[in-house]
Structure 1
Amino acid sequence: MYAAVRRYTGVTDPAEAGRRVNEGFVPLLRDIPGLLAYYWIDAGDGVMVSTSVFESEAGAAESVDKAAEFVRDRLASLLPNPPQVMSGQVVASM
């Protein structure tokens, strides 16, 4: 398994960002083969975190690319700062 984590700061409207992600980005992720899980988290204080889990490294990498495109095209006004992006192999899970 592979995971991609993206941390966004300076989020101006977490509720609207969550709505747009749920309605627009989640369907895009469903088209990536090997999707196991996706979470969009409101961490408070203008911080939001997304976590995508895939069967393959290629799926995780594709999710990072799709997220960058989606943020640029649909969320730029709500997520003004570039995200911190991390990805890698899952070495422990439950």
Structure 2
Amino acid sequence: MSIRRYENVPDLTGLLRDIELEFAPLLHKMPGFMAYYAVDSGAGSMATVTVFSTAAMAEESNAVAADWLASRGGAHPLMHVQITAGRMAIAVPPIRG
């Protein structure tokens, strides 16, 4: 799993739209892809959660994310990205009912 937190995003609405239309399909094509979530935290910040079948594949998605951001004309100079990646230790399935 990889969790990326973005702060000081200059156009969060535009970035979320582009993630849905451009970046998420790239992840979906990667081997081992399981899920992707983007959370609008408000005030120009967001977090994403990417789940792959192995920790190595999730970590590889960080490079894909960095390349994709760079392809959009480079990251905004004030935007900060914090990454936490590794093996998913606990997973609680959704309650069905």
How has the CA–CA distance of structure 1 residues 75 and 6 changed in structure 2, closer, same or farther, with 3 Å as cutoff?
farther
Match of residue 42 from structure 1: 40
Equivalent positions of 1:44-59 (< 5 A) are 44-59=42-57
Distance, in Å, in 1 between the alignment partners of 2:51 and 2:19 is: 16
Return the structure number with greater relative CO, CA threshold 8 A, min gap 6: 1
Structure 2 length as normaliser, TM-score?
0.85
1:65 aligns with 2:80: no
Unaligned runs of 5+ in 2: 93-97
8 Å Cα contact 1:6/1:85 also seen in 2: yes
**4+ residue stretches of structure 1 with deviation over 6 A?**
none
Match of residue 19 from structure 2: 21
Structure 1 length as normaliser, TM-score?
0.88
Shift of 1:75: 6.3
Q: How many residues align?
A: 92
Q: What amino acid is the match of 1:30?
A: H
